[in-house]
Amino acid sequence: MSDSCQHHAVSNGKVFCVLDFERCWRATLSRDTRFDGLFYSAVVTTGIYCRPSCPGCPMRKNVRFYRSAAAAQEAGYRACKRCNPDASPGSPEWNLRADVVGRAMRLIADGVCDREGVAGLAAHLGYTTRHLHRLLTAEVGVGPQALARAQRAQTARILLETTSLRITDVAMAAGFSSVRQFNDTIASVFDRTPTALRDMAASPADQAAGTITVRLSVREPFDGPALLRFFAARAVPGIEEIDDGTYRRSLRLPHGASTVALTPRPGYVESQFCLEDIRDLATVIHRCRRLLDLDADPLAVTELLAGEPLMAPLVVAHPGLRVPGAADPEELLLCTALRQMLPEPQVSRALAALTRRFGRPLPSPTGAVTHLFPTAQTLAEAPLTDLLPNAAADLLRRIATDLAAGDLTLSDGHDRAESERQLMQAGLSGHGAAYLVMRALKDPDVFLAQAPATGRALQSLEQPVGLAPTMRRAEHWRPWRSYALMQLWNLRPGDTQIFAPAHQTSPRQAILAA
């Protein structure tokens, strides 16, 4: 979360994160949707919690602020029926932070608590369950169980509103251990029964058979077309397809395979999921949000970049650029290793050949999406020299073997600096390792000064392209260097004209107006 709405207090030698009431109150009075998900407002007299943008008008003395929906629920508040606060974008803080709390929040969102319990979550992070609970409570007001419970409730609501699954199946699919626990949670959070929630929704019969359609909320501005161009330039044949403004891909999830279709719309991303196992819904939503960087805070990024002469015209011309993530970090790692060894024209053909020969065919292909990407275990044992030059085959096999054995991992639960070191030890270049940390681990402060696309962009803008001057300039873009990099990589023909002296608009005014 932006420091504008929080500060830290010390009690008994421990540091606790505290919301700044005055700033949160002013943000609530503004009804600005850009603050949705950064914090939640609760009203003592009504017993409900809302988005900051909710049109309700509570009295100041009756308002309390919480850093998460789970904390508001734990305090006894239920979700507002008017603004549906649980459907707001998530906090960008958890991508920015690389500490234990940030890593824990990302793992909880990926469903680790539901699959492995709090003990499994703690093991991923290398902490005891007691210490992890203490850290999370100090930062977000509740422990991992309450955070996972809030996520289960929202998943259940999506299933109730978008599918015709039986109520008991919804409870199990959302991760509840019993129907009674499910009923109690839904009543507590939404002040409705599961049946009432379903009755108020549009008929699930309108959905395609076996498909769940969800609107993924996003903070605007949001440049969806730029993301589609990025994915199209790097698409793996048979795994990914970009067609008519929609990005489609196959995805391996904890309980089975899925195909997803993501279509950027004004104010949201229309998402269609076809899942082999409905229990993967919360996980696939989280991974698609990470893939499209939907929880980013474009206002905070613009605030900093617009103050630097090189970036200012670019953020005005291209507001809302996101840093593309990775739906499957291991797949991205293996593809990056291959791109390191082969000329670009050969990479697509090699990936297509690997997919056809070693990937699992989908039972129901969707357009050009026909397979799952080969697993690390499969590639570790495959005769790769039949398809690849020896050096490329050796690197790919070595990395796949390390992944399959668990000696190399690319997980939200791991320290980013340590992951980068491990990737380089496995044979990736420094450039490739940093690229993976930026995309797969969502580090917002990576700058690839030696990438060919960076050099071409700087050259077209008549800027020095040497490593030392480029890195010195990039220091001005911390902690959003990944977003500055995307501005350079997104440079289009004719963009150099925006640097003409006639460009007099204030960058900040132009962005806010957009």
Task: Give the model's pLDDT for residue 362.
Answer: 96
Q: Is residue 440 within 8 Å of 326, Cβ to Cβ?
A: yes
- Strand pairing partners for 252? 257
In this structure, the strands spanning 48-50 and 78-79 are: parallel
Which residue in 5, 17, 24, 50 is the catalytic one? 50
Q: Is 54 a catalytic residue?
A: yes
Q: Is residue 362 within 8 Å of 370, Cβ to Cβ?
A: yes
Q: Is 113 a catalytic residue?
A: no
Whole-model pTM: value is 0.86
Task: Give the model's pLDDT for residue 502.
Answer: 37
From residue 6, how far is each of 2, 49, 71, 96, 140 by CA, in Å?
7, 19, 15, 15, 11
Q: Alpha helices of 342-389 — where are they, by DSSP H?
A: 344-358, 376-381
What letter represents residue 212's amino acid? I
Q: Is 50 a catalytic residue?
A: yes
Q: Is 17 a catalytic residue?
A: no
Crossing angle of helices 329-341 and 344-358, in 10° steps, is 130
CA distance 27 to 149: 27
Of 477, 449, 338, give the one whose Cα is nearest residue 397. Answer: 338
Crossing angle of helices 179-190 and 144-162, in 10° steps, is 90
CA distance 236 to 378: 18
Question: Which residue ranges make up each domain of the chain?
Answer: 3-139, 299-323+447-513
Which residue in 5, 17, 24, 80 is the catalytic one? 80
* 294 CB-near residues (< 8 Å, 6+ apart): 89, 90, 216, 217, 218, 219, 222, 269, 288, 322
Which residue in 5, 17, 24, 83 is the catalytic one? 83
CA distance 448 to 65: 39
Digits of tens for pLDDT over the chain (514 positions)? 444 465 433 333 333 345 789 989 988 998 878 788 889 999 999 999 999 999 888 899 999 999 999 999 999 999 998 888 988 788 877 777 778 998 999 999 999 999 999 999 999 999 999 999 999 998 888 999 999 999 999 999 988 988 888 899 899 889 998 999 999 999 999 999 999 988 887 655 445 556 899 989 899 999 999 999 999 999 999 999 999 999 999 999 999 999 999 999 998 999 999 999 999 999 999 999 999 999 999 988 999 999 999 999 999 999 999 999 999 999 999 999 999 999 988 999 999 999 999 999 998 899 999 999 999 999 999 999 999 999 999 999 999 999 999 999 998 888 899 999 999 999 999 999 999 999 999 999 999 999 999 999 999 999 999 999 999 999 999 999 999 999 999 998 766 666 654 344 444 444 444 4
- Strand pairing partners for 270? 215, 263
Which residue in 5, 54, 113, 335 is the catalytic one? 54
CATH code of the domain made up of 3-139: 3.40.10.10
Q: Nearest 5°: phi and psi at 47?
A: 75, 25
Angle at 26 between CA 25 and CA 31, to 5 degrees: 95
- Per DSSP, 84 falls in state -
In our burial notation (b when 16+ CB lie closer than 10 A, e otherwise), range 213-226 reads: bbebbbbbbbbbeb
